[in-house]
Amino acid sequence: MYGEVVPAAAFADRVVELDRLVRDLAAAQKVFLISPRRYGKSSLIRLALAAMARRGVLTVDVTVSSFSSYVAFLEGYARALAAAETRAERARTWLRDAISSTLVEIGPDLRAASLPPAGGRPPGPTVSFPNARTDRDVSRLAEEVFALPARLADTRRRPVVVALDEFQAIAGFNGGSVEHALRAAVQRQRDVGYVFAGSEPSLMERMLAARRPFYKAGPVMRLDKIPADEFATFVDRRFLRSGMKPEPGLGAAIVELAGNLPYDVQRLAHETWDEVRGRNRRRATLDDLHQTLWRMLAEQQTMFEATWQRLTLPQRAVLRAVVLEQGTELLSADVRTRHRLGGPSTVQTALAALVRDDVVTREPDGYAVVDSLLREWVARQTF
């Protein structure tokens, strides 16, 4: 249930955000969707694309960070676009027309071989660019691939929506030139909506800064946490609907323990539900929640120990302070003395390292441990 993109019925809140995203994409806007990790961007995107697909829009969804090189990304992107062409033969012709023939190699289409598609979605033909060797080849190819969505909209006579998830990874491919090429292409595509989603807010915000290609390219949506009380009600209701009666306050306790992070809320709720079901009971109590928490902490003990071992002593001290002080006032003389943190610059260096390693994240009102289980472990098992 958790760790995957959630089905609509398992989706809490986000009504306003979903509505806005669908409306913007339907208007062929180029939307930037930004939040820290695991706030629910991908889930929101999938839901928006599904809603649009039901209305006849062609949707394409690519996770930029899953490719090991720029060319691999271009191949994957072209393939995903070709898969939106339902008839295999037409997809091949279409690709051949659109891409300089010396560069593209189009492999067998699994649909044609009438094999069941591996991942539910028809995979389309495999596309590879083995002859793209020089930088010039690659940028010509990129220009052609980035133009494909508009061609798709044209030939199929349907609106197209493209989601590029984990978009911050684009910066790692080829420096600024990818951004320029992509921006130039999407700007011209009046029938294609885009959503660029990224989970490293600082990288994404920098991409939108003045003098960068995507400056003012389109609306920016910053996803917040789901309001705690709504999420708590949602969790309680999910227990009830599965025939299990939650003790009053259970949903709220789960949301609080999970730091109100959607992923952690779902994980803790699911594990608690599993615990209760395993005992064949119909009531889920706060006690069950705490038992579940202890079990999960024990299961992850080795991993948390390894994380802890990797940290320098100042980083350990600062991590403990983040946990015990709820992430605020870490530079104050009082907190530094109480937790023996050393001078402000030592604290800042340690914090920066913890953020870079994704152990701690910066939130509007201070710092927080990314993994709420690690937070509980630090609070209970370190000194």
- Interface with ligand ATP (CB under 6 A): 2-6, 10-14, 35, 37-43, 199, 226, 262-263, 266
Instruction: Give the shortest CB-42-to-Mg ion separation in angstroms.
Output: 3
Nearer to ligand ATP among residue 39 and residue 146 (C-beta): 39
Nearer to ligand ATP among residue 71 and residue 169 (C-beta): 169
Instruction: Give the shortest CB-5-to-ligand ATP separation in angstroms.
Output: 6
Name the token pair of 266: 């779902």
Q: According to the binding rule CB under 5 A, does residue 42 interact with Mg ion?
A: yes
Residue 284 C-alpha from the chain's centroid: 31
Instruction: Give the shortest CB-289-to-ligand ATP separation in angstroms.
Output: 18
Residue nearest to ligand ATP (CB): 40
Measured distance CA(338)–CA(350) in Å, rounded = 17
Q: Under a CB-based contact definition with an 8 Å cutoff, are residues 78 and 95 in contact? A: yes
Instruction: Give the shortest CB-202-to-ligand ATP separation in angstroms.
Output: 14
Rounded to a whole number of angstroms, the CA Rg of the chain reads 24
Nearer to Mg ion among residue 41 and residue 375 (C-beta): 41
Task: Identify the CA nearest to 27 among candidates 255, 193, 264.
Answer: 193
Nearer to Mg ion among residue 40 and residue 251 (C-beta): 40
Name the token pair of 366: 């201070």
Nearer to ligand ATP among residue 142 and residue 162 (C-beta): 162
Start-to-end Cα distance in the chain: 34
Instruction: Give the shortest CB-229-to-ligand ATP separation in angstroms.
Output: 14
Name the H helices within 84-212. Answer: 88-98, 135-156, 171-174, 176-188, 201-207
Instruction: Give the shortest CB-209-to-ligand ATP separation in angstroms.
Output: 21
| 3 binds, options ligand ATP, Mg ion, none, Cβ within 5 to 8 A by partner type | ligand ATP
Q: According to the binding rule CB under 5 A, does residue 260 interact with Mg ion?
A: no
Residue nearest to Mg ion (CB): 42
Nearer to ligand ATP among residue 2 and residue 308 (C-beta): 2
Q: What is the DSSP letter of 64?
A: G
Beta-sheet strand order (sheet of 220-222): 58-63, 160-165, 192-198, 30-34, 220-222
Three-state SS at 53? helix
Task: Identify the CA nearest to 319 among candidates 269, 226, 383.
Answer: 383
| 4 binds, options ligand ATP, Mg ion, none, Cβ within 5 to 8 A by partner type | ligand ATP
Footprint on this chain of Mg ion (rule: CB under 5 A): 41-42
